[in-house]
Structure 1
Amino acid sequence: MAEGSRIRCFPPVADPATARVLILGSMPGKASLDANQYYAHPRNQFWSIMGTLFGAHPALPYAERLAMLTGAGLALWDVLSSCERRGSLDSAIDLRSAQANDFAAFLGRHTGIRRVLFNGALAETCFRRDVMPHVRALDMLRLPSTSPAHAGLSATDKLHAWRAALQPSLVVAV
């Protein structure tokens, strides 16, 4: 990936029959894009948190982790379909170049989704700016970013916030 080139997100990971909660990032970082996997940076805490909550531990094969999440009623995607960015940080995204994914179509196919959790501030900002006017009402909550760049909270505090947002009543039983 050339510095400053247009980058594209991954396809959504979701089961239309079971998805109840959609977890949204902004755009995969360089480590994720290189590995072709959501949250691939070794210091990103996403998979550690999902391992604690749903058994999707970072040591498991990627496909197994995704299957555990979809089996638990979770879906993963990014708010942005494409953008220009220098480096890996959200702060390096050129927001003038940002294009949102087609959430109206996605939510039309995944009618059980009632809650959207934002993995960090930029995901929420872009969703509210570019997507909200075009989709049905949803329960939305911004969570502390699992990115290693977000060091303002401890891993334990992040886990508590994610656990509270992913109460068993909100997702399909594991």
Structure 2
Amino acid sequence: MPKIGFGPIIDDRARVLILGSLPGDASLKAAQYYAHPRNAFWPLMGQLLGEDLPALFYEARLERLKARGVGLWDVIASAERSGSLDAAIRSPEAADLRGLVARLPCLRAVAFNGGLAAKLGRRILSDLNGVALIDLPSTSPAHAISLSAKAKSWAILSDFISQ
């Protein structure tokens, strides 16, 4: 049975769209983006926004992202996968990234959270004009580099996030 991702969390104020690959099992079970307790996404975004996002309820986190011009989605709409690792993804069905991007008049950057998201997302969005495509290290705990190393790479988003 395929694993099916979530819809986009975004509105027309978005200046940055962050794309993952496909939610992991912890996220799918919780019906929340980046729900695994060791995933670095919420701490990293909290640092970038200067807010304690991990302390907020999930819906409040999403509202803070949208208020600051940040949207979330995934490059894969559905796929076969045993467990949560990107390496186990089989038969991926792409999300309608081009359709979403076409509805975002303020978009300045698309950031890919991890290698598979970048590989697949760049294939779909490679010809975008005036929008930066940024490859970032995965926030997944399976991507074993330090939080400080991830934070250094993710800091580039501060140039695009509305204040």
Above 0.5 in TM-score? yes
**TM-score, structure 2 length as denominator?**
0.93
Matches within 5 A, 1:3-152: 5-16=1-12, 18-54=13-49, 55-94=51-90, 97-129=91-123, 131-132=124-125, 136-137=128-129, 138-151=131-144
Q: Per-residue deviation at 1:159?
A: 1.0
Q: Which whole-Å CA distance do the structure 2 matches of 1:59 and 1:41 have between them?
A: 15
SS at match of 1:58: helix
Q: Aligned pair in 2 of structure 1 residues 56, 14: CA closer, same or farther (>3 Å)?
A: farther
Q: Per-residue deviation at 1:51?
A: 1.6
Indicate if the aligned counterparts of 2:122 and 2:133 stay in contact, CA closer than 8 A.
no
Q: Which whole-Å CA distance do the structure 1 matches of 2:8 and 2:86 have between them?
A: 19
Q: Which runs of 4+ in 1 moved over 6 A?
A: none
Aligned residue number for residue 157 of structure 2: 166
5+ unaligned residues in a row in structure 2: which ranges? none
- Report how many aligned residue pairs link the two structures: 161
Q: Which whole-Å CA distance do the structure 1 matches of 2:52 and 2:102 have between them?
A: 27
**TM-score, structure 1 length as denominator?**
0.88
RMSD in angstroms over aligned alpha carbons?
A: 1.3
User: Percent same amino acid at aligned positions?
Assistant: 48
